[in-house]
């Protein structure tokens, strides 16, 4: 089984991104699976384009895309990708997109096809806090998530795929002007291993 795992480069004034550090820390092989690990640019054109290129070149059996959601308390298993671009801040190219569709004329939304119930149960069994989230927002994370699911559906691919949001790291919150939830990188890496182990499960 081949699994594509992606994270994002730092953005929004941060010098680190937990999703990037997590991806870099994961092994190339795990439980008999080949892990393809890549970092996506926080760029509304290059980010989705790189995801499509990875999907087409590697033809993975499953994809888990990771990203940072500052302020989240738990590992967030995203249920829905929305056909909406509405950036709260500029991407790393300095671009802000407001109230635009990701795919003009495309479906309003796609559901994750990851085994989310099994994933949450496995995380909680290891005492890692995890939640279901109904919104991946309307920034790059959601754009990449929607682009990924649109390609899978439109090309009739047999690929499990979805998106997982991560909390801030403690070192990101240390300089914050207000209290911000955080989760250690070690726990996030453990969570990623658990999520990958659940691929192929059914809810």
Q: What is the pLDDT of residue 202?
A: 67
Return d(Cα 111, Cα 162) in angstroms, integer. Answer: 8
Q: Please, which residues have CB within 8 angstroms of residue 75's CB and are 6 or more apart in sequence?
A: 123, 128, 129, 130, 131, 164, 165, 166, 167, 183, 188, 191
Query: What is the assigned CATH class of domain 2-197?
Result: alpha beta
Q: Which contacts qualify for 84-89: CB closer than 8 Å, 24 or more apart?
A: 84/138, 84/142, 85/44, 85/138, 85/143, 86/138, 87/44, 87/138, 87/139, 88/137, 88/138, 88/139, 89/11, 89/12, 89/139
Task: Give the pLDDT band (50/70/90) at residue 177.
Answer: low
- pLDDT at 173 > cutoff 80: no
Percent of the chain with pLDDT over 70: 97
- pLDDT at 10 > cutoff 90: yes
Q: What is the mean pLDDT of the chain?
A: 94
Write the DSSP string, 96-139.
Answer: ---SB-SSTT--SEEE--S-HHHHHHHHHHTT--EEEES---SS
Active site positions, annotated: 78, 141, 165
- pLDDT at 180 > cutoff 80: no
Q: What is the pLDDT of residue 47?
A: 97
Per-residue pLDDT tens over the stretch 62-109: 999 999 998 888 999 999 999 999 999 999 999 999 999 999 999 999
Per-residue pLDDT tens over the stretch 17-58: 999 999 999 999 999 999 999 999 999 999 999 999 999 999
Return d(Cα 203, Cα 69) in angstroms, integer. Answer: 25
pTM of the predicted structure, to 2 decimals: 0.95
- pLDDT at 174 > cutoff 80: no
Residues 129/187, Cβ–Cβ less than 8 Å: no
Task: Give the pLDDT band (50/70/90) at residue 203.
Answer: low
- Determine the average pLDDT of the residues in 113-125: 97
Percent of the chain with pLDDT over 90: 87
* Nearest in space to 28 (alpha carbons), one of 51, 68, 55, 58: 58
* Nearest in space to 64 (alpha carbons), one of 88, 103, 33: 33
Q: Please, which residues have CB within 8 angstroms of residue 45's CB and are 6 or more apart in sequence?
A: 93
């Amino acid at each position: 089984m081949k699994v594509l795992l992606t994270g994002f480069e730092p953005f929004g004034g941060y010098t680190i991104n937990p999703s990037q550090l997590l991806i870099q820390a994961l092994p190339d092989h795990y439980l008999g699976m080949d892990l393809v690990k890549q970092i996506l640019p926080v760029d509304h054109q290059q980010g989705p384009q790189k995801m499509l290129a990875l999907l087409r070149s590697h033809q993975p059996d499953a994809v888990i895309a990771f990203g940072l959601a500052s302020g989240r308390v738990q590992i967030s298993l995203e249920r829905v990708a929305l056909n909406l671009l509405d950036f709260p801040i500029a991407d790393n190219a300095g671009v802000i997109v407001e109230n635009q569709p990701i795919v003009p004329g495309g479906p309003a939304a796609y559901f994750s096809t990851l085994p989310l119930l099994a994933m949450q149960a496995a995380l909680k069994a290891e005492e890692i806090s995890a939640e279901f989230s109904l919104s991946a927002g309307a920034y790059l994370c959601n754009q990449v998530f929607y682009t990924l699911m649109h390609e899978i559906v439109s090309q009739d691919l047999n690929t499990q795929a979805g998106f997982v949001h991560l909390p801030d790291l403690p070192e990101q919150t240390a300089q914050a002007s207000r209290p911000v939830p955080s989760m250690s990188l070690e726990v996030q890496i453990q969570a990623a291993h658990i999520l990958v182990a659940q691929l192929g499960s059914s809810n």
